[in-house]
């Protein structure tokens, strides 16, 4: 169901959880019989979980608002004593502690030369694949490059080589969907690597530059916010590219 | 227009100021230190004089402007109110001056080895004292000399010269009167590699005519380079002599292997 | 806040792919993005786009008193501002260096290259002249805003029609477009601006000449080691040559770039003429028949 900002949402559940795009506003005194109304704050499709306890609005945008546990691709802006300042496309740049890497401990201060195997971004301008560990509206977002439980890298870390594609947030979510056509379609043609951040940035890599270019063009063509092409049209485009 | 009554090039092949077609105006270079500047130069091409002072590399005044991997360059151009025939004060925000400054900055950015001084700033201040055409040329040559004088590492000299075409005859080093009348260009050359770093032209000119004056100006820039190099050499020799060294001159051969006069 | 400069992988990839003559948007090295030209309902209103770069140009004419220095000439002014709308890089307030370059180039290409016959804009010497005001709105920046802005400005001037004016003695009568067909501006030539970007050659190749590409995209413009803008008309006349700093080039290389520009300017000129004619054919019935 499509919904516009300001429209009231009739969501009722004893353990109601509201996701992005929904807001409960306070109008006078609430009572058990007449709870505070819930309105939409974004235009999009209203969705809910199967037991109707979780509600959210699915919409597309370009600006990323950080949320904890989401994987993002960031650009290192600055090296500080304690870590890095990373641009992840949010209103404020995020911080990445140099202890938030696999194998880094307080006693064993990470040092680039001593840990060549660790995935520390070497300098300003590097790309990192990281997870948002803290997203609070009053604080700047924090990132980590490992799984906080296992303390293993889990593929997070610096992204070397390849190319960075910027796309809409919906496109990122599509790419993460295993049922989505694009990556399998490309994967049939040539071996590829991709790191999808949900912040509208996708790092891609393949053996040949022209394959990377083909990937970048297909992502742009299939982006609902860009070319908006479907599977057939994207396939046609891919066939015209000599890869 | 008043200027059109004066012939740019007369029957005898002489220009309005008595020069031949390919003749440059006299060049005067003064490399004496000025005030507290780290390096300074005053250069005169005919009746155009520019004073350049260089400060730095030093800490940038605005921290936000620093670049983590190289030095930033800032250029400011001021024009003395008395520099032209008509007394006229130019405001700092004048678009033409801003453009001149950004031209000079863009010219020197790839020539100065900025990567040697990360997080610092090099300031270049130019002051135009007299204007009689070929302002950009004079500014660039002056800046090269001031930078060398300040000891800032450069890849090469940058030598600029202006040129124009009157009917079908190319002219070099234009004065104000010629600049108002004929299509003109300015180019800057790096003499070691003979490569062009800057070309600007803003008047209509046919491609073939352009090529002719372009090639000629590139050769003229090398002549200007000789003058600039000689001035730097004299300055260096005086410095070495005043240090009281036994070998009172800098090495008499330049990198080309040509033997230069020792004075 | 300025957007961060492109990341290292982006920088390296652009470099490597260009060395193999591959561009990220699939163009050839010397291929321009196909200009999209849309005319508005009014004469002298045009939206011009190169890829995602978009500029709107609009012309207004009014009658003013000429300046005392040039009593027989009309006045042309160009207003352009890069608002933060085009890209987060531009801010209101002090103009950035790029903005200065763009406004100065527009001024040189459109105003100083004698595109418009200014004397034809004179109605009554020392008393009444036309004042043309060209306003350029830069809507979005995906590289090469200069070419896009120049193209929009020139097309708008060619598209514009001013009301016809009749002078009897000292009386000036302005005929509204409903009475008499408005007249086009007298133009000497059509300068078109082309911007080239340079990249260092691959270290393995034996040439030292730089890689040249036409109409750089945003990323290419940011990463290039130098730009060269050439404005010229279809008659092989250069109006502005503008190469500031950047990678040093040999004389032959510069001339080579100019040759490419000459060829492309002819094609572009034809495209502009075709588009204008196409639009004019749809309007004829409305405007001309009186």
Cβ–Cβ gap A123/C4 under 8 Å: no
Question: How much helix, strand and coil, in percent to the nearest 5, is found in chain A?
Answer: 15, 30, 55
The burial of C121, by beta-carbon neighbours within 10 Å (0-12 exposed, 13-18 middle, 19 or more buried), is given as buried
Label residue C3 by pLDDT band (50, 70, 90). low
Mean pLDDT, range A164-184, rounded to an integer: 92
User: Phi/psi of residue B23, each to 5°?
Assistant: -85, 135
Cβ–Cβ gap B210/C238 under 8 Å: yes
C27 neighbors C220 (Cβ within 8 angstroms): no
Looking at every residue in chain A, the average pLDDT score rounds to 86
Give the DSSP per-residue string, B159-215: EEEEEEEETTEEEES--HHHHHHS-EEEEEEETTTTEEEEEEE-S-EEHHHHHHHHH
Range with the poorest average pLDDT among B217-226, C90-99, C161-170, C240-249: C90-99
Q: Encode chain B (263 residues) as per-residue pLDDT tens digits.
A: 444 567 888 888 899 889 999 999 999 999 998 889 999 999 999 999 999 999 989 988 877 778 878 899 999 999 998 888 777 776 667 788 888 998 999 999 989 999 999 889 999 999 999 999 999 999 999 999 999 999 999 999 999 999 999 888 999 999 999 998 899 999 999 999 899 999 999 888 999 899 999 999 999 999 999 999 999 999 999 988 988 765 545 555 444 444 444 43
Mutate to test the interface with C, among B77, B163, B195 (most CBs of C within 10 A): B195
Cα four-point dihedral sign C220, C223, C225, C230? positive
Closest CA in chain B for residue A79: B68
Within 8 A of A217 by CB-CB distance, chain C residues are 24-26
Q: Between A123 and A188, where is the model more confident?
A: A188
Contact A124/B at CB under 8 A: yes
Q: Output the pLDDT for position B44.
A: 96
Distance CA A3, CA B85 (A): 71
Q: How far is B202 from chain C (nearest CA, A)?
A: 4
Q: Output the pLDDT for position A122.
A: 58
Q: Output the pLDDT for position A218.
A: 93
C169 neighbors C128 (Cβ within 8 angstroms): no
Cβ–Cβ gap C236/B207 under 8 Å: yes
The distance from CA B91 to its chain's CA centroid, rounded to whole angstroms, is 23
Cβ–Cβ gap A163/C24 under 8 Å: yes
Q: How many H-runs (helices) and E-runs (strands) does chain C carry?
A: 5, 14
Report the CATH number at residue C82. 3.30.230.70
Q: What is the dihedral of CA C242, C246, C251, C254, to 10 degrees?
A: -50
Helix (H, G, I), strand (E, B) or coil at B32: coil
The residues, ordered by sequence, that sit 6+ positions from A78 with a Cβ below 8 Å of its Cβ are A84, A85, A124, B68
C227 neighbors C198 (Cβ within 8 angstroms): yes
Within 8 A of C258 by CB-CB distance, chain B residues are 207, 210-211
Residue C81 lies in a domain: yes
CA distances to A159, A164, A190, C20 from A193, rounded to whole Å, are 11, 12, 10, 21
Mean pLDDT, range C211-235, rounded to an integer: 92
Paired tokens of A158: 């610096």
CA distances to A7, B222, B262, C166, C170 from C64, rounded to whole Å, are 53, 50, 67, 16, 15
The distance from CA B122 to its chain's CA centroid, rounded to whole angstroms, is 18
Which residue segment(s) compose the domain that C230 sits in? 21-287
Distance CA C250, CA A240 (A): 37
Contact A210/C at CB under 8 A: yes
Q: Output the pLDDT for position B2.
A: 44
Q: How far is A222 from chain C (nearest CA, A)?
A: 14
The burial of A65, by beta-carbon neighbours within 10 Å (0-12 exposed, 13-18 middle, 19 or more buried), is given as middle
Distance CA B26, CA A217 (A): 58
Q: Output the pLDDT for position A91.
A: 87
| Total tally of structural domains belonging to chain C | 1
Closest CA in chain B for residue C261: B207
The CATH superfamily of B3-242 is GHMP Kinase, N-terminal domain (3.30.230.70)
* Residue A203: pLDDT over 70: yes
Paired tokens of B20: 């031949």
Number of neighbours of residue C182 by Cβ within 10 angstroms: 18
CA distances to B45, B222, B250 from B253, rounded to whole Å, are 28, 19, 9
Q: Which residues of C20-39 are buried (b: 16+ CB within 10 A; e: fewer)?
A: eebbbeebebbebbebebeb
The H-or-E segment that residue A175 falls in is helix A169-176
Selecting from C10, C25, C26 the residue whose C-beta is nearest the C-beta of A163 gives: C10
Residue C27 lies in a domain: yes
Mean pLDDT, range C13-22, rounded to an integer: 92
Cβ–Cβ gap B69/A78 under 8 Å: no
Q: Which of A233, A234, A194 is nearest to A217 (CA)?
A: A234
The residues, ordered by sequence, that sit 6+ positions from B226 with a Cβ below 8 Å of its Cβ are none
The H-or-E segment that residue C106 falls in is helix C97-106
Please compute, for residue A122, the number of CA atoms within 13 A of its CA located in the half-sphere on the CB side.
9
Paired tokens of A88: 């992840």
Selecting from A125, A164, A213 the residue whose C-beta is nearest the C-beta of C17 gives: A213
Within 8 A of B201 by CB-CB distance, chain C residues are 238, 240-242
Q: Output the pLDDT for position B263.
A: 38
B263 neighbors B234 (Cβ within 8 angstroms): yes
Paired tokens of C134: 């060209």
Contact A12/B at CB under 8 A: no
Distance CA C254, CA A103 (A): 54
Q: For chain B, which residues make up each domain, given as ranges?
A: 3-242
CA distances to A74, A86, A140, A152, C193 from A144, rounded to whole Å, are 11, 11, 13, 11, 48
Interface confidence: ipTM more than 0.90: no
User: Phi/psi of residue A3, each to 5°?
Assistant: -140, 150
Distance CA A171, CA C216 (A): 26
Cis ω for the linkage preceding B57 (within 30 of 0): yes
Q: Output the pLDDT for position B245.
A: 60
A227 neighbors A195 (Cβ within 8 angstroms): no
Range with the poorest average pLDDT among B206-215, C75-84, C270-279: C75-84
Q: Output the pLDDT for position B76.
A: 93
Within 8 A of A212 by CB-CB distance, chain C residues are 13, 17
Distance CA A204, CA B198 (A): 38
Residue C3 lies in a domain: no
Looking at every residue in chain C, the average pLDDT score rounds to 88
pLDDT digits (tens, 9 = 90+) for C158-177: 999 999 998 888 888 888 88
Paired tokens of A171: 């496109």
Mean pLDDT, range A126-131, rounded to an integer: 91
**Judging by DSSP bridges, how do beta strands C128-140 and C53-64 pair with one another?**
antiparallel
Cβ–Cβ gap C245/B107 under 8 Å: yes
Cβ–Cβ gap A87/C4 under 8 Å: yes
Mean pLDDT, range C196-224, rounded to an integer: 87
Selecting from C4, C5, C17 the residue whose C-beta is nearest the C-beta of A209 gives: C17
Mean pLDDT, range C5-23, rounded to an integer: 90
Give the DSSP per-residue string, A4-16: -TT-EE----TT-
The H-or-E segment that residue C140 falls in is strand C128-140
Residue C227 lies in a domain: yes
């Amino acid at each position: 169901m499509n919904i516009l900002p300001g429209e009231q949402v009739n969501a009722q559940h004893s353990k109601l959880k509201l996701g992005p795009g929904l807001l409960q506003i306070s109008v006078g005194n609430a009572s058990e019989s007449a709870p505070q109304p819930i309105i939409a704050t974004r235009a999009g499709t209203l969705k809910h979980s199967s037991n109707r306890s979780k509600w959210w609005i699915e919409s597309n945008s370009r600006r990323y608002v950080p949320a904890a546990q989401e994987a993002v691709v960031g650009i290192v802006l600055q090296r500080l004593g304690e870590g890095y300042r990373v641009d992840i496309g949010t209103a404020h740049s995020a911080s990445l502690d140099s202890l938030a890497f696999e194998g880094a401990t307080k006693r064993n201060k990470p040092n680039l030369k001593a840990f060549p195997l660790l995935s520390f971004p070497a300098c300003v301008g590097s790309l990192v694949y990281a997870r948002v560990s803290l997203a609070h509206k009053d604080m700047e977002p924090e990132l980590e490059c490992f799984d906080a439980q296992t303390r293993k890298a889990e593929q997070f870390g610096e992204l070397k080589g390849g190319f960075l594609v910027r796309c809409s947030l919906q496109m990122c979510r599509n790419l993460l969907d295993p049922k989505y056509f694009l990556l399998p379609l490309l994967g049939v043609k040539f071996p590829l690597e991709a790191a999808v951040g949900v912040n509208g940035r996708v790092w891609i890599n393949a053996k040949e530059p022209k394959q990377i270019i083909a990937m970048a063009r297909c992502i742009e063509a299939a982006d609902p916010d860009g070319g908006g092409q479907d599977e057939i049209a994207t396939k046609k485009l891919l066939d015209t590219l000599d890869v | 227009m008043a200027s059109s009554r004066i012939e740019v090039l007369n029957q005898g092949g002489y220009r309005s100021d008595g020069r031949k077609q390919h003749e440059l105006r006299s060049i005067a270079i003064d490399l004496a230190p000025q005030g507290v500047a780290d390096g300074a130069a005053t250069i005169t091409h005919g009746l155009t004089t520019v004073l350049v002072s260089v400060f730095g590399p030093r800490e940038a005044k605005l921290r936000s402007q620093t670049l983590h991997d190289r030095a930033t360059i800032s250029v400011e151009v001021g024009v003395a109110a008395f520099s032209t025939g008509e007394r006229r004060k130019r405001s700092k925000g004048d678009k033409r001056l801003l453009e001149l400054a950004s031209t000079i900055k863009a010219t020197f950015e790839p020539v100065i080895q900025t990567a040697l001084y990360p997080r610092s700033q090099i300031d270049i201040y130019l002051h135009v004292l007299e204007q009689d055409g070929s302002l950009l040329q004079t500014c660039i040559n002056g800046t090269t000399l001031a930078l060398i004088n300040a000891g800032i590492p450069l890849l090469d000299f940058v030598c600029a010269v202006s040129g124009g075409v009157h009917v079908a005859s190319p002219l070099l080093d234009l004065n104000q009167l010629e600049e108002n009348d004929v299509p003109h260009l300015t180019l800057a050359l790096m003499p070691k590699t003979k490569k062009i770093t800057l070309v600007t032209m803003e008047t209509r000119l046919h491609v073939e005519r352009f090529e002719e004056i372009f090639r000629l100006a590139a050769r003229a820039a090398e002549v200007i380079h000789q003058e600039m190099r000689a001035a730097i050499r004299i300055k260096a020799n005086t410095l070495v002599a005043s240090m009281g060294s036994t070998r009172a001159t800098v090495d008499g051969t330049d990198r080309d292997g040509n033997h230069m006069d020792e004075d | 806040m300025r957007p961060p400069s492109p990341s290292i992988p982006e920088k390296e990839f652009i470099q490597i792919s260009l060395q193999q003559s591959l561009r990220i948007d699939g163009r050839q090295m010397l291929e321009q993005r196909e200009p999209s030209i849309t005319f508005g309902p009014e004469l002298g209103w045009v939206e011009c786009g190169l890829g995602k770069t978009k500029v709107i140009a609009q012309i207004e004419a009014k009658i003013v008193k000429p300046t005392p220095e040039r009593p027989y000439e009309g006045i042309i002014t160009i207003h352009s501002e890069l608002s933060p709308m085009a890209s987060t890089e531009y801010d209101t307030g002090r103009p950035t260096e790029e903005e200065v370059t763009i406004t100065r180039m527009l001024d040189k290409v459109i105003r100083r290259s004698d595109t418009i016959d200014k004397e034809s804009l004179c109605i009554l010497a020392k008393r009444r002249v036309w004042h043309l005001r060209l306003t350029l709105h830069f809507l979005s920046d995906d590289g090469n805003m200069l070419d896009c802005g120049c193209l929009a400005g020139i097309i708008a001037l060619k598209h514009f029609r001013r009301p016809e004016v009749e002078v009897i003695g000292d009386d000036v009568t302005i005929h509204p477009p409903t009475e008499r067909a408005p007249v086009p501006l007298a133009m000497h030539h059509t300068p078109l601006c082309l911007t080239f970007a340079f990249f260092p050659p691959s270290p393995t190749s034996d040439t030292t000449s730089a890689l040249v590409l036409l109409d750089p995209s945003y990323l290419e413009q940011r990463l290039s080691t130098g730009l060269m803008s050439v404005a010229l008309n279809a008659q092989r006349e250069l109006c502005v040559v503008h190469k500031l700093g950047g990678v040093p080039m040999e004389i032959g290389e510069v001339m080579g770039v100019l040759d490419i520009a000459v060829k492309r300017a002819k094609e572009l000129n034809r495209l502009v003429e075709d588009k204008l004619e196409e639009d004019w054919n749809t309007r004829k019935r409305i405007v001309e028949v009186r």
